[in-house]
Amino acid sequence: MCPTASSPSAGQSVVPDVRQSPPPIVRGEPVEVADGVYVIPDGRVELVPNVGIVVGERAALVIDTGMGPRNGAHVLEQARLLAGDRRLYLTVTHFHPEHGFGAQSFQGAATIVYNAAQRAELRRKGAAYLDMFKGLSPAVAAELQDVTLVDPDLVYDGEAELDLGGRTAILRTAGPAHTASDQIVLVDDRVLFGGDLFETRIFPITPYLPPHDVDVDGTRWIDVLDRLIALSPEVVVPGHGEVTDASLLHDVRDYLAYVRAEAAGLRASGASEDETAAAIDQAARARWTTWERPEWIGFAARAFFHEAAS
């Protein structure tokens, strides 16, 4: 999830209004989705991610923290209950506040691992995103009140392998796609965590927010999904929404490919950016009737409209 750009142009969608949403608090206990792999479900609450905990014989890995120190502390507590005195690692799927701005609760308790692009993007954009998210609602501001941005203890380029003891987690740089630095986590070649590269029954969050942030790369996002489909994961953990299987990857890929093709065709026919966004918004709402947060359709259309010019 990302905040809206200020003063969107005529016809531009605005991001979901979260002022009436429940507080963005990670709740509940972990649910085992595969051997030794647990998820604290998001409950489809806005600005709450699915949080992963992977437990091996010698160590455990936490994937995403929730927003702010209170959520981070809850996730750490749940990880400790599962892992006991095993060594803890923490990684995040990308730098956005609801996924990684609880990391300070893990300082001294876990080894924090990011890819190099994540660290760079956090340093470049983190403070601005913190300020913007605080403006989304009082409940969000309350969770972010005491946030400090945390650098990783370990940084990798490309790919890193964590041997947790009888269980292996591969951390792999996937961005630029949803962000400039997306990361996937593949556990035992069976369970895939991908953050906001995919969500269940939610239109893909496409943070094309000029002039604030234009790093989303829709075409490469499609390429990333093609590579993830080739992995044939048995269990797919989205950034938001229910845990599912590899069919989700196909669904999101097909949607993005549809928007890309429509945006390119409309631009070639002489349609303006606003006309393109409006046409695709109407058609996609009619085609994907069970998906939530259609406010993101226009952002995807605009991103692909500009990609078509290059």
- Phi, psi angle pair for 201, to nearest 5°: 55, 40
Statement: residue 15 has pLDDT above 70? no
Residue 77, number of CB atoms within 10 A of its CB: 10
Starting at the edge strand that comes first in sequence, how are the strands of the sheet with 59-63 ordered?
A: 31-34, 37-40, 51-55, 59-63, 87-91, 111-115, 154-156
Question: What is the per-residue pLDDT across 193-229, written as a single tens digit (0 to 9) for each?
Answer: 999 999 999 999 999 999 889 999 999 999 999 999 9
Surface-to-core class of residue 190, CB atoms within 10 Å of its CB (0-12 exposed, 13-18 middle, 19+ buried) = middle
Whether the per-residue pLDDT at 238 is higher than 90: the answer is yes
pLDDT category of residue 13 using cuts at 50, 70 and 90: very low
Q: Above 60 in pLDDT, residue 33?
A: yes
d(CA 135, CA 138): 8
Mean pLDDT score, 160-179: 98
Q: Is the bond preceding 176 in cis, omega lying within 30 degrees of 0?
A: yes
pLDDT at residue number 239: 98
| pLDDT above 80: residue 3 | no
130 versus 21: the higher-pLDDT residue is 130
Closest C-alpha to 92, from 73, 78, 106, 108: 106
pLDDT at 293: 94
The pLDDT tens digits for 50-100 are 999 999 999 999 999 999 999 999 999 999 999 999 999 999 999 999 999
Give CA separation, 136 vs 21, 24, 141, 208, 310, in Å.
11, 11, 7, 17, 33
Percent of the chain with pLDDT over 70: 95
Q: Sign (positive/negative) of CA torsion 115, 119, 120, 122?
A: positive
Mean pLDDT, the chain, integer: 94
Residue 11 has pLDDT above 50, yes or no: no
Q: What is the mean pLDDT of residues 21-29?
A: 94
Prior bond of 97 cis (ω within 30°) = no
**Going from the N-terminus, what domains does the chain have, and what CATH number goes with each?**
31-307 (3.60.15.10)
Q: Which two tokens stand for residue 76?
A: 């750490």
Task: Kindly tell me if the per-residue pLDDT of 9 is higher than 80.
Answer: no
pLDDT, residue 101, reads: 98
**167, 113, 219, 241 alpha-carbon torsion, rounded to 10°:** 60
User: What tens digit of pLDDT does each residue of 106-144 get?
Assistant: 999 999 999 999 999 999 999 999 999 999 999 999 999
Q: What is the per-residue pLDDT across 257-290, written as a single tens digit (0 to 9) for each?
A: 999 999 999 999 999 999 999 999 999 999 999 9
DSSP letter string over the chain?
A: --PPPSSPPTT-------TTSPP----S--EEEETTEEEE--TT-TT---EEEEE-SSEEEEE---SHHHHHHHHHHHHHHHHTTSEEEEE-SSSSHHHHTTGGGGBTTBEEEEEHHHHHHHHHHHHHHHHHHHTT-HHHHHHHTT------SEEESSEEEEE-SS-EEEEEE--SSSSTT-EEEEETTTEEE-GGG--TTB------BTTTB----HHHHHHHHHHHHHT--SEEE-SSS--B-THHHHHHHHHHHHHHHHHHHHHHTT--HHHHHHHHHHHHHHHSTT-B-THHHHHHHHHHHHHTT-
pLDDT of residue 4: 40
Percentage, residues of the chain above pLDDT 90: 91
